[in-house]
Structure 1
Amino acid sequence: MRLTDDPELKTSLFSLFLPMYLVTVLGNMLIILAVISDSRLHTPMYFFLSNLSFTDICLSTTMIPKMLVNIQAQNQSITYAGCLSQICFVLNFVLCENFLLSIMAYDRYVAICHPLTYALIMTPRFCGLLTLLSLGISIGDALLHSLMVLRLSFCTDMEIPLFFCEVVQVIKLACSDTLINNILIYFAASIFGGVPLFGIIFSYIQIVSSILRMSVSGRKYKAFSTCGSHLSVVTLFYGTAFGVYISSAVTNSSRKTTVASMMYTVVTPMMNPFIYSLRNTDMKGALGRLIGRIFSFL
């Protein structure tokens, strides 16, 4: 896994990715602390948002620290066991984010289309079960793909054209038959990616239809503002994730594939806190109070 041998480019990459990682961790940690510390945010929507922020921190931590070490090191490599572990963790957290985004869309659908029964449907127990189910499916799928990679044989001195071990690119480097692996990957992507995405699209069709039927303009604005942040994150995540697989399928350019993969694994987790905090009045207020308490404590 080689990034570059150019000393000046190494410095530029390190100067770019270290601040991005710190902003990702700090921004998502502030979201989590704001939700925990403010009782007004103890609702299903912010419970799922805090889980999404935690997933973003884990996803970035799985890749960027190792990449930063590799940039500074003479030997820009990762062990076979380390590569398999990275594949497993990246798949797990990407799938978790995918499921959480679909659950958050369902939460908004219930809140806007069925407000009278919202509290009866989105109970703390049900929200916890949805989160645990998402985590369980994600772990199972990630382990399955990792074990399927384990059965492949590889040639020596492999060079992965990305800054982390991405399962599709790793499989391309195998010397043995990869048909089963490819079938499994695209089948899992169709089910675990397609079904949640269809659920999000269906939820927002119902949400928009319900909002347009509202007679009070204030309620319309509030409904659009609460959904706007989530819809922005969904567009960013799915748009860049599809870009990775489309670019890897239609081009042999490692540079283009690297840029696409960086977008959904590095840029999206960094942007999520800004999207939610800048577009959400309740979150801005909670973050302001949290930062005020932190400075008063210091």
Structure 2
Amino acid sequence: MTRTTWRKVPGYAFLTVFSIFSLFPLYFMVVGATNTSTDVLASRLLPGANLVQNFQDLVAAADVASAMGYSALYAVSTTVLALLVCSIAGYGFEIYHSKGKDLLMAVLLLAMMIPFAATMIPLFRMFANFGMVNSAFAVILPAISTPFLILLFRQSSRSFPHEIIEAARLDGLRELEIFFRIYIPTMKSTFAAAAVITFMTAWNNFLWPRVILLDNKVQTMPMLISNLSAGYVTNYGVLMLAVLLASLPAMVVFLALQRSFAQGITGAIK
């Protein structure tokens, strides 16, 4: 081995060790889904033969299909609306730049420092006054506009060539036509990065749906998992299987858009 190769060994060893630590919770979750509750509590690290029984117990204890369906409804709707609203806002902040918009953007960034727990009660009272408690709109609406996504699209829009916009205007395109026909196809990587972030956040959201959804018939997967662990006796094999099922959609979305996600984040940073 050359001297250059030997110099890389500590770095690769460091990355290998921390990769193992990072993947171990996922491995334990998958293995736990195949074991009994006793084996999970005993930290058994080998796969078992209890997967089918755990699935039968999970289906008997909770309506998994309904929870997965509602989680998908909330997450997909939130993602689509958030991409539309935040991309238009970020595009407007950068393309129609002014000092007033910079001040407004600064106010939005300050809003990121306010914890959600501080706004949760006013939000609940507002939706209660509109009669929207226990509805999908109450889950989706607070998440369709976030300062982080607006900032992400604004930073990415700085690399968008303004000459294309001027040329499109000379060709007679309206502003919305420029946005939908030119801007969106050009900024696909940014949209992919924003979609991954928004979908994973919406899919894993627990606190706000727990507060605003009073009926377990419209519960999400995080709420279902919380209910499984809230009894006097918890079947940890069933709980691990539920966590595994709840993790799969977010993992699939991230792996499918991984390359575009990296490009979108890099472009926003630049």
- Using structure 2 for the length normalisation, give the TM-score: 0.33
The one of the two structures with greater contact order (alpha-carbon pairs below 8 A, sep at least 6) is 2
Q: Is the radius of gyration larger for structure 1 or structure 2?
A: 2
